[in-house]
Amino acid sequence: MFAPELIASAEALLNACRSRNLKITAAESCTGGLVTGILTEIPGASEAFDRGFVTYSNAAKSEMLGVPAPVIARHGAVSAAVALAMVEGALKHAPADVAVAITGIAGPDGGTIQKPVGLVYIAAHRKGGDAVAHRFNFTSGTRYGIRMESVREALRLALEAVQQ
């Protein structure tokens, strides 16, 4: 299901968490649980991973993570502001030290000129550090490709947050 290099990235992330005695969580929208899925693909993941949140709808973002509805209304679900609110909400609602959050447009529909298919925001935060959000414009051309690129970058950004 997952490419070997993604499995290796997930394993490296979990090993980094274990070595620092950190727990990680994920809040996902367009990836629909793929980050959680790849982390739990690794034997022993429960030592560093307790839970993930799949918040595909705006209501789920608000109900499960506490993302304020006015933030969604003002910036749109696919925005840096929402990604940051998601990552903060994940840290508040999970026994975790590090969180990564993803929101985007995987397509093939749903894009606009301002927010095209492939636009993804990924936020990462380690408690005690600064939350960061990055904007990506993935151009793989397929829903699957956009989602896998999102997972790859989420794992990378989460590892950077762990290593702060």
pLDDT in tens, 110-151: 999 999 999 999 999 999 999 999 999 999 889 999 999 999
Strand partners, 24: 49, 98
**In which residue ranges of the chain is pLDDT below 50?**
none
Q: What is the pLDDT of residue 141?
A: 84
**β-pair type (98-104, 119-126):** antiparallel
CATH of the domain at 16: 3.90.950.20
Provide the number of structural domains found in the chain: 1
Q: Are 102 and 150 in contact (CB under 8 A)?
A: yes
Least Cα distance to 100 among 12, 13, 5 occurs for 13
What's the confidence (pLDDT) of residue 44? Answer: 97
Reported pTM: 0.98
Helix or strand holding residue 147 (H, E): helix 143-162
Q: How far apart are CA 28 and CA 55, in angstroms?
A: 6
Rounded distance between C-alpha atoms, residue 163 and residue 81, angstroms: 24
- Give the range of the structural domain holding residue 63, as residue numbers without chain letter: 4-162
pLDDT of residue 121: 99
Helix (H, G, I), strand (E, B) or coil at 3: coil
HEC letters along 52-93: EEECCCHHHHHHHHCCCHHHHHHHCCCCHHHHHHHHHHHHHH
Residue from 42, 26, 41, 46 nearest 122 by CA: 26
